[in-house]
Chains A and B, each alone.
Chain A
Amino acid sequence: MGKSLKEEVYKFNHEKISIYGLLVLLCAMLYNILTSKALDRRFLIYGFDAIEWIPLIIITVGSAFFAMEYKNRTIMMMMYKNSSKLKIYLAKFLVIFFYSIVLTVAAILLTFLFSLIFTGNKYDWLATFNGHSLLSDLLANMLGAIIYSFFITGLSFMLCMLTRNNAVVVCIGIVLAFFGAAFSSALMKAFPSAVSIIKWNPLSMIFISQQFTRSSLMSTSHLLNSELIIANIAYGLIFAVLGYYLFKNRRV
């Protein structure tokens, strides 16, 4: 496993895709800052909306990182050089999930930097507001982003194996990131009698990135924070297992 992981990290670093992902995050945060009407407290605890961009970057990078093995026809060599297909899949999964943690840490640091540049000393990160400090709320939301990234990594790999088309995976990622929550709540409003079932749909999982610091969202998601955490991890695992099954049986 260590050998597979080392190889994947080597490729990931040299492909520069990690740098491009960070640059996209930086530009997206800057764009949000420059186009927003007011840089308020809520904007800060969402890392200038970095929590929305991280999953999108992960789904794009994740599927591109897997799809390039088929595009460059290196998948065959990888398969015979590795003792099992599971090690290849797991190594790639871990690299992308670890990358989501790196992106989250970068988002936290950039949030501090941009808040200093664009708001000066207006906000005290440690001052308590409604029982929470700005820092603890930011960290809670970022933790949500990391958990959601686990879900997204699993989804990205499964879709990459299912559609064999990187563009389709990215499109689904955009739909999930920007319309997932709205579509899910609309669905629950349309079928109120089935809320107890519909609330568990995968589109609801995105609520995790905001609900930790915005308890009012519970009335929309109909899920407790603990339920969201468990459901995100469970979905991430289910998608990862399904993706592995597809990967294992995909012809090379």
Chain B
Amino acid sequence: MKTILGLMKFTGAITIDTKSVTENDHHALSNVGALIEHPAIYPFLTGCQNLELYAREKADLNNLVSTLGMKSYINNKSKGYSLGMKQKLGIAIALLNHPKLVILDEPMNGLDIEATIAVRKLIKQYADQGTAFLISSHVLSELQKVMTKVVLISSGKIIVNQEIEKFNEISRRKYKVITENNEAAMRILQNNSIAYSLQDDYLTVNSQDIFQIQDELFEHQIHLEEMAPIEANFEQIVVNILDKERG
């Protein structure tokens, strides 16, 4: 993230909106907002002054202040802010001036539930208006609620770069099957070389086999009681991918 913002030495090329970013030329970042590592706040300024320093429109500033619920303390010196208040102010600074790209590093750090929901809503609202977000977080469940694309990086290498719909297919690779006679169903699957495993009172099968299974069971007059995808936990999928990558 720091590299995209031209804050570190790097090899290769970074382009934003066809303009290249270098360590000493940040013209391409004129429509980029960011919150990296910690909120960048001047403690001797009030929250409002911190925003005014970079705001192009007063209306935009006021809108962010009210959406993030900062009205009650925005005119206080920011040195007295709690971690959550600073975080909200940092997010507001990143969203100032309707940026085309917003880079957020652990945006939900220190936020309470209400603030987390407000930030999530704001991200969706800006995204709907055309702002692209690049968010990094260790709280995957929170990310899951806003993301439309997944990029997984391990040891500096991109190992997954997919739309969320495609990524979610990974979570539906297994199906749960319950029939009126599981014993008979297992024999049919065995005879047709269809992979399965028995879990308590149901069978687990691969998603690509479900149509063939339905056909075979129908042919042998065995009725299905249940056939449903087993949703894998998002965190578990990520851990599995990373484990696989590390060998």
Q: Which A53-98 residues have C-beta < 8 A from chain B?
A: 68, 72-86
**Cα distance A72–B34 in the bound complex, in angstroms:** 16
- Please, how many angstroms separate the alpha-carbon atoms of A77 and B37 in the complex? 11
Of the listed stretches A8-16, A143-151, A152-160, chain B binds A8-16
Given A14-B49, A72-B42, A74-B42 in contact, is the A81-B37 Cβ separation under 8 Å? no
Closest Cβ of chain A to B208, distance in Å, is 46
Complex CA distance for A82 and B23, rounded to whole angstroms: 12
* Minimum CB–CB distance for B16 against chain A, Å: 11
- In this assembly, does A227 line the interface, its C-beta being within 8 Å of a C-beta of chain B? no
Given A10-B53, A79-B7, A80-B34, A72 and B40 contact (CB-CB distance below 8 Å) = yes
Cβ of A252 < 8 Å from any Cβ of B?
yes
A40 is an interface residue with CB less than 8 A from chain B: no
Residue in contact with A248 in the complex, picked from B24, B26, B29, CB distance below 8 Å: B24
Chain B residues positioned under 8 Å from A82 (CB to CB): 26
B44 lies within 8 A of A80 (CB): no
How distant is the Cα of A81 from the Cα of B44 in the complex, in angstroms? 20
12 residue pairs of the A-B complex, CB under 8 angstroms, read A10-B49, A14-B42, A73-B38, A74-B40, A79-B6, A80-B26, A83-B29, A83-B30, A85-B24, A86-B24, A248-B24, A251-B8
Asked if A73 meets B30 with Cβ closer than 8 Å, knowing A14-B45, A80-B7, the reply is no
Complex contact B26–A72 (CB within 8 A): no
CA distance A85 to B41 in the complex (A): 19
Interface size for B (C-beta < 8 A) is 27
The distance from the CB of A19 to the nearest CB of chain B, in whole angstroms, is 12
Q: Count of A residues near B, CB < 8 Å?
A: 25
Q: Is the CB of B26 within 8 A of A84?
A: yes
Cα(A14)–Cα(B42), bound, Å: 10
Contact assessment for B93 and A77 in the assembled complex, using a CB-CB cutoff below 8 Å: yes
Given contacts A74-B42, A252-B7, contact A80 B29 (CB under 8 A): yes
B80 CB to closest chain A CB (Å) equals: 14
Q: Mark B53-95, 1 if CB is under 8 A from A, else 0.
A: 1100000000000000000000000000000000000000100
Known: A10-B53, A14-B49. A80 touches B38 (CB 8 A): no
In the complex, chain B residues whose CB is within 8 Å of the CB of A80: 5-7, 26, 29, 32, 34
From A10, A77, A86, give the contact of B40 (CB < 8 A): A77
Inside 8 A of B37's CB, which chain A residues have their CB?
Answer: 73, 76
Complex Cα–Cα for A78 and B45 (A) = 15
Query: Chain B 1-25, CB within 8 Å of chain A: the 1/0 string?
Result: 0100111100000000000000011
Given A11-B42, A14-B45, A72-B41, is A77 in contact with B34 using a C-beta cutoff of 8 Å? yes
Q: Is the CB of A83 within 8 A of B40?
A: no
- In whole Å, how far is B209's beta carbon from the nearest beta carbon of chain A? 51
Q: Report B31 CB to chain A, min CB distance, Å.
A: 11
Cβ of B223: which chain A residues have Cβ within 8 Å of it? Answer: none
Interface centre among B24, B25, B40, by most chain A C-beta atoms within 10 angstroms, is B40
By a CB distance below 8 angstroms, the chain A residues around B2 are: 76, 252
Task: Tell me if B43 counts as interface (CB < 8 A to partner A).
Answer: yes
Nearest Cβ in chain A — how far from B24, in angstroms?
6
Check if B36 is an interface residue, CB within 8 A of chain A. yes
Give the shortest distance, in Å, between A10 (CB) and chain B (any CB): 6
